[in-house]
Chains A and B, each alone.
Chain A
């Protein structure tokens, strides 16, 4: 497949924006609900786990430079497996888009625009994402990179203020509810690193595929730090029992921010930046969604399917009645779906690697 190529930093930004948005849809809060004061230790643990998984992926991908998991599945078992992988990936992208649109539109609806029907908000998100996703990947990643640059300093300020002058005793008892809860029971929270799925697909897009390891490691480390800082900030600012009660934890964090009497209520600025980052995330999802469909159907263009997927996602988002359904979808469906998909893709990669050892792979 021919793509316009993306640079190393753009590829890193592409993976990082996924974590930024996972945190927006309350992954950090979920971790705190599961493990209480042990959340920061749990975050470090799942981050290390994610790094190890990526290193294993990198080792297996060393035989398949320039190829995505879709090409590899074709190599392993032909079109049937390729179609299965594509359908599983399309399901993942639709689910990701549904959750991010559902959450952001509900947040905006509750906080700012309660008088406007949520349908208009959903349509605005979808249309904006489709408009961006119609362009090629270079435009999408540049848009994403710009959003991340804008978000970088305000987020650092937010963490700095949360840490300043606070008592770190809120990070204890160190194991939270129990040692088992911190290290065993809730390891499914690794779905926070759903960016790993995109690392199965990113190879053909890279300018320099030898930088794959560097891109993966840096993006996972930045994502881990972002998640860790968010979890620690929330623990320092709010008691962990608080996390079960709020709608949008990181927004509550931004509400406590003010710079004397001359700059108050900066939460609106943060909200605006988060909307930009969720637009960038959505356009990335749309790109991969339509590209996967294009590869599955061998069609010449990916833009044709865009409106159809837009309509499907609109249907899914509308069918979600309230935030409880959305939480269920995220906690009980998306998390397990992501893990199952990772296991499927990783197994295909592993078997292909073993197969290629016996019979070297010829990309031609």
Chain B
């Protein structure tokens, strides 16, 4: 018994000394300022312009409307040479200690990303506070403007708003949530390139109909900010930003994003328009879902990658017009063939765009080559990253079309 008391005394003594040396107040919840979003722009007087969106204490329960700043949050901007020094400067300015453990999104401006974001990604990934699930987005406008102008309307909590909005691709297919760990992994992997969420501000001045687009494709040809939307929430996420070795090299529109999701076996739901085979003045809406993972086969033919993809999708017809008849197998088969041709053509466009135009293997076809080599040296010798631009593709889509309406014949 005496021994137990001796040990308990020694243990208590050490704990007390440790606690007395440790400034508990620094870490208590009321002394921390939780950063919700980080914006990184090219600096005017220094290397970077760092913008932090910080949750205000009332953000959880406030019913007041967002005023000057985003509802439940305030923004602070500083010009600095690195992210960490920027955080330090802001720490010396605000009344609380910054904490990044609830940061939901890191936004880079397009202007900044074209010069490479590898250093910033490595810095963020090494920070213990930032979670690997924090999203990475590229903004067409300045990241500072993006963060300041974004006003959540339907969701009061700004952090929750970001969480939901970056995952909107799950039910639209127009984008895809790319998190810090995904991006960092792609930076270190020779067999594929990274993408990021393409985001922007949607205002009347940014509304555009892309050039040379068929009327059927208009809805899915928009990138961020281009769609004709009028709403208090100015933020729009649509499309993907394409990277190669950490440098922004191009953008993909909403349809490309759907193709990207299909090939990555990540498509949960997307609505596309195809020409109506029974009436050339109308369009059929199909709600697409992935039926099974795509069957991808990559070979080298005369030194060039030859990529075969077999894709199985399920499509529900969402639109109904007068004289529509989706009750016969023959009609569904005709629609299925139209859908197959339409999707094959768009997936090929997307793949040739990544290969010939962007030289960036965003799908990760290089991974399918790994098993064909016995050592990493052999794989590196064929230089997949440089050879991808010589790739040619064969796509086979099989769409299982069903009627998704209560009425199958009108």
> B23 within 8 Å of A by Cβ?
yes
Q: What's the count of A-B pairs with C-beta under 8 Å? A: 85
Collect the chain B residues with CB atoms within 8 Å of residue A255's CB.
131-132, 181
Closest to A119 in B: B18
> B357 within 8 Å of A by Cβ?
no
> B214 within 8 Å of A by Cβ?
no
Q: Which of A177, A241, A258 has the largest number of chain B CB atoms within 10 A?
A: A241
A37 and B376 within 8 A (CB):
yes
> A131 within 8 Å of B by Cβ?
yes
> B7 within 8 Å of A by Cβ?
yes
B132 and A124 within 8 A (CB):
no
State whether A177 and B376 are in contact (beta carbons under 8 Å apart), knowing that A239-B188, A242-B188 are contacts in the complex: yes
Collect the chain B residues with CB atoms within 8 Å of residue A120's CB.
14, 17-18, 21
**Chain B binder among A23-31, A153-161, A168-176:** A168-176
State whether A173 and B185 are in contact (beta carbons under 8 Å apart), knowing that A255-B131, A258-B133 are contacts in the complex: no
Q: Which one of B21, B133, B189 lies within 8 Å of A117 (CB-CB)? A: B21
**From residue B99, how far is it (CB to closest CB) to chain A in Å?**
13
Q: Which of B21, B188, B373, B378 has the largest number of chain A CB atoms within 10 A?
A: B188
**From residue B3, how far is it (CB to closest CB) to chain A in Å?**
8
> B165 within 8 Å of A by Cβ?
no
B132 and A123 within 8 A (CB):
no
**From residue A210, how far is it (CB to closest CB) to chain B in Å?**
37
A127 and B18 within 8 A (CB):
no
A123 to B16, CA, bound (A): 13
> A110 within 8 Å of B by Cβ?
yes
A167 to B364, CA, bound (A): 10
A115 and B27 within 8 A (CB):
yes
Closest to B264 in A: A167
> A59 within 8 Å of B by Cβ?
no
Collect the chain A residues with CB atoms within 8 Å of residue B10's CB.
127
> A269 within 8 Å of B by Cβ?
no
Q: Which one of A123, A131, A239 lies within 8 Å of B14 (CB-CB)? A: A123
**From residue A118, how far is it (CB to closest CB) to chain B in Å?**
11
> B278 within 8 Å of A by Cβ?
no
State whether A172 and B370 are in contact (beta carbons under 8 Å apart), knowing that A110-B128, A255-B131 are contacts in the complex: yes
A255 to B368, CA, bound (A): 27
> B215 within 8 Å of A by Cβ?
no
> A308 within 8 Å of B by Cβ?
no
A256 to B21, CA, bound (A): 33
> A228 within 8 Å of B by Cβ?
no
> B95 within 8 Å of A by Cβ?
no
A169 to B184, CA, bound (A): 18
B14 and A167 within 8 A (CB):
no
> B328 within 8 Å of A by Cβ?
no
A172 and B23 within 8 A (CB):
no
Collect the chain A residues with CB atoms within 8 Å of residue B191's CB.
169
Closest to B7 in A: A131
B131 and A238 within 8 A (CB):
no
Collect the chain A residues with CB atoms within 8 Å of residue B322's CB.
none
A179 and B375 within 8 A (CB):
yes
State whether A127 and B370 are in contact (beta carbons under 8 Å apart), knowing that A173-B375, A179-B375, A265-B131 are contacts in the complex: no
State whether A173 and B374 are in contact (beta carbons under 8 Å apart), knowing that A167-B367, A238-B185, A239-B185 are contacts in the complex: yes
> B11 within 8 Å of A by Cβ?
yes
Collect the chain A residues with CB atoms within 8 Å of residue B93's CB.
none
Q: Mark B368-399, 1 if CB is under 8 A from A, else 0.
A: 10110111111100000000000000000000
Pairs A–B under 8 Å by Cβ, sample size 22:
A36-B376, A37-B370, A37-B376, A110-B128, A117-B18, A117-B21, A127-B7, A127-B11, A170-B367, A172-B370, A173-B370, A173-B371, A173-B379, A176-B376, A177-B377, A179-B374, A179-B375, A239-B189, A252-B132, A258-B133, A261-B163, A265-B131
Interface residues of B (CB under 8 A from A): 3, 7, 10-11, 14-15, 17-18, 21-23, 26-27, 128, 131-133, 163, 181, 184-185, 188-191, 364, 367-368, 370-371, 373-379
Question: 9 closest Cβ contacts across the A-B interface?
Answer: A120-B18, A172-B370, A169-B367, A239-B189, A172-B371, A173-B373, A239-B188, A241-B188, A169-B370
Q: Using A242-B188, A256-B133, A265-B131 as known contacts, list a sample of 15 further A-B pairs with CB atoms less than 8 Å apart, ordered by residue number in A.
A: A37-B370, A110-B128, A115-B23, A116-B18, A116-B22, A120-B14, A120-B18, A123-B14, A124-B14, A127-B7, A169-B191, A177-B375, A238-B188, A242-B184, A245-B188
Interface residues of A (CB under 8 A from B): 36-37, 110-111, 113, 115-117, 120, 123-124, 127, 131, 134, 167, 169-170, 172-179, 238-239, 241-242, 245, 252, 255-256, 258, 261, 265
